[in-house]
Amino acid sequence: MKKDIHPEYREVIFKDISTEYAFKTKSTIQTKDSITWEDGQEYPLVKVEISSDSHPFFTGKQKLVDTAGRVDRFYSRYGGKFKKKEA
């Protein structure tokens, strides 16, 4: 393997922002946030919108997750070209 071309592979905490569920794994993802884990050490933190704790496939519950208002933003941006269907 060539030196100095691979990203750093380290332990990272992934946290589901909707359920506060967090787990520790290894990753090369870059992040600015950090968190103190259960073992007292500080790890990089990656915030995710959906994890196995909140995904309908794993929970068996259907819930609409539109945290960023993507649908409404789409219709406000392109509203003249598309008609919003009323439920």
pLDDT in tens, 48-70: 888 878 766 666 666 555 656 67
Check whether 43 has a pLDDT greater than 60.
yes
Look at residue 17 and tell me if it is in a domain.
yes
| Mean pLDDT of all residues in 76-82 | 69
Considering the domain boundaries, does residue 4 fall inside one? no
CA dihedral (21, 31, 63, 56) positive or negative: negative
How many domains are contained in the chain?
Answer: 1
19 in a structural domain: yes
Q: Which amino acid is at 33?
A: D
How many angstroms separate the CA atoms of 78 and 7, rounded? 40
Structural domain contains residue 86: no
Read off the pLDDT of each residue in 17-34 and give the average, rounded to a whole number. 92
Task: Find the domain containing 27 and state its range.
Answer: 10-78
